[in-house]
Amino acid sequence: MIKHLRIDNRLIHGQVAVTWKNHIGAQAIIVCNDQVAADPIQKMALPMAARGSKVLVYSIAETIAYAQANPKETMFVICKHPSDALALIDAGLEIEHVNVGNAAPVAGTKYVMVTKSIAATAADAVTYRAIAEKRGGSLRSRMVPTADEIDFLKALSEAGL
């Protein structure tokens, strides 16, 4: 089961490799993004960022297949983009918690800073709202397990998205 799905375009870094993985009690970290999974350098480097942990770098389709084949495994999935997360939700996977973690601004896009660490475009906002709608109308954001969660839909609205 996917215990925790985090949307974080930084993928694996210190917060993820140590703090979040231990907080969740995950048996595996899965990085889910089609472009990252097709990049041999990232497929090699990302597991090194979480030494001592089982790290899989999968496309969306591979993540769905793995989660369906291993329902008893506790998984921590990190999606690079909200569209990656929505695809997993649309596939009907069992996901206990969804968290918007970080989204650095992308040069050349019309982004708005929703929080100090989350940039979003109007298209991203539509995707985040679709995720929330399919998850009972709520979407939360939290940088680290010890931080307070914020209502991400409220933050989107306050940012004008």
User: How many CB atoms within 10 Å of residue 146?
Assistant: 8
- pLDDT given for residue 148 in this prediction: 93
* Record: fold of 2-158: Fructose Permease (3.40.35)
Report domain extents, the chain.
Answer: 2-158
Query: Confidence band (pLDDT; 50, 70, 90) for 6?
Result: very high
pLDDT at 147 over 80: yes
Query: Confidence band (pLDDT; 50, 70, 90) for 50?
Result: confident
Per-residue pLDDT tens for 77-89? 999 999 999 999 9
Secondary structure (DSSP) of the chain: -EEEEEEETT-S-HIIIIIIHHHHT-SEEEEE-HHHHT-HHHHHHHHHTTTTSEEEEE-HHHHHHHHHH-TTS-EEEEESSHHHHHHHHHTT--EEEEEEEEB---TTS--EEEETTEEE-HHHHHHHHHHHHHTTS--EE-SSTTSPPEEHHHHHHHTT-
The CA distance from 77 to 112, in Å, is: 25
- pLDDT given for residue 117 in this prediction: 95
Per-residue pLDDT tens for 101-146? 999 999 999 999 999 999 999 999 999 999 999 999 999 999 999 9
Residues with a known catalytic role: 13
According to DSSP, residue 147 is labeled: S
pLDDT at 43 over 80: yes
